[in-house]
Amino acid sequence: MENTLRQKAKELLASGEVKVVIGWGWNRTRTRTTPVFITKSEETDRLVWNPLCVNNLSVYLTRKFKDVQALGKPAIVARGCDIKNIVVLISEGQVKRENVYIIGMVCNGVVYRQELWEGELKPEIMPTKCHNCDVRNPHLTDSVIGGKSSFVPPEAPAGMVFDKIKAIDARDASGKWSFWINEFSRCVKCYACRQVCSLCYCERCITEKNMPQWIETSAHPRGNLSWNLTRAMHLVGRCTFCGECERACPVNIPLNLVNQKMILVVKDAFDYRSGYDEKVHPPMIVFNPEDKENFIK
């Protein structure tokens, strides 16, 4: 697959169809992958494809990266789960479909964090998203690399994230509160969760609006709670559970629990799942007379 990918990238650059290929490459010691921007057709051998390719590169398609945009039309190497984010970016008018070439990778899963890699992709080092993945055959592409995957996700979603959500749901209100206050207390306000998320594309995040200061920037319990809740609310119905925010969080806050819980709530309330159809708008930005109103009590 790696060779086909390199060949495809070479063609695209040589023909001038795209100006840059955004993909994964090795670090110096070939122990970790890292995002690479290939602009010359003779450099496409730097591209790699393996279970260490964890970054969701769609973040580089957003307007936060003016210098990447300045390089010209991109081709992006993307797994199905990355493509979900691209779909949301298209449906929200952030990316024009014709302005990006999507090289879709048929995928068998990745490691949750690169430091867990010991040479073999075992189920226990894969994130919950991979165990339930219904986009191993990428769904919105200009070309597909790899033979068809026959993986069928389990009927009822399973895995660590779902188990933990069940356990938290079973707690009473004060139990839930203390769980989250404790988790958020570690937040250092590094904003890696926001920066790594392709759906956090605002150029001025609400935390940076300081006249007045809507969200306290201090990393004390009150400031951390308002930051994490506000960010969660801004991702409702949009987040695709790509898991980048949790992977990036340096203090191990289980953000995937928040992400998946929101997805379950939106599925239940609006029968909507983000990231599948670029022609449908997310429920929080459309009004539908059929929307449930049972939350008004």
Partner 1 sequence: MADKLLKREDLGKLIGSVVGGGGVFVAPTIDARQVVFKPVTKAEEIVTDYIVARNSYKEYVFPQTEVVADYTIGKDGVDLRSRKVEPKETVIFGARPCEASSLSALRAVFTWDFIDEFYTKREDKTTVISVGCTKADEACFCTTVALSPETKTGSDIYLLETESGDYLAEAVTDKGRAFIKKHASVFGAAGGEKAKKLFIPEKIKGIDPGKVAEKLSDKGHYEDPVWAELTRKCIGCGACTFVCPTCHCFDITDEGTAFEGERRKNWDACQFDTFTLHASGHNPRDLQYKRWRNRFNCKFSFYPNKFSSKGCVGCGRCIRVCPVRLDITEVMEELSK
Contact of 21 with 47, CB cutoff 8 Å:
yes
Contact between 90 and ligand SF4 by CB under 6 A: the answer reads no
Q: What 3-state DSSP class applies to 217?
A: coil
Nearer to partner 1, 175 or 250 (CB): 250
CA 238, 176, 191, 203 torsion-angle sign: positive
Cα(118)–Cα(139) distance, integer angstroms: 30
Q: What 3-state DSSP class applies to 249?
A: coil
Contact between 44 and partner 1 by CB under 8 A: the answer reads no
Contact between 125 and partner 1 by CB under 8 A: the answer reads no
Least Cβ distance, residue 192 to partner 1 (angstroms): 4
Nearer to ligand SF4, 86 or 199 (CB): 199
Burial, 261: exposed, middle or buried (Cβ in 10 Å; 0-12, 13-18, 19+)? middle
Which tokens in the block code for residue 5?
């990918």
Total residues at the site for ligand SF4 (CB under 6 A)? 37
Nearer to partner 1, 59 or 235 (CB): 59
Q: Which helix (H) or strand (E) holds 246?
A: helix 244-248
Q: Footprint of partner 1 on residues 197-216 (CB under 8 A)?
A: 208, 210, 213, 216
Q: Footprint of ligand SF4 on residues 168-197 (CB under 6 A)?
A: 187-193, 196-197
Position among 244, 272, 278, 282 found at the interface with ligand SF4 (CB under 6 A): 244
Quote the DSSP letter at residue 244. Answer: H
Question: Residue numbers of the site for ligand SF4 (CB under 6 A)?
Answer: 79-81, 85, 107, 109-110, 129-130, 133, 135-136, 187-193, 196-197, 199, 228, 235, 239-245, 248-251, 253, 259
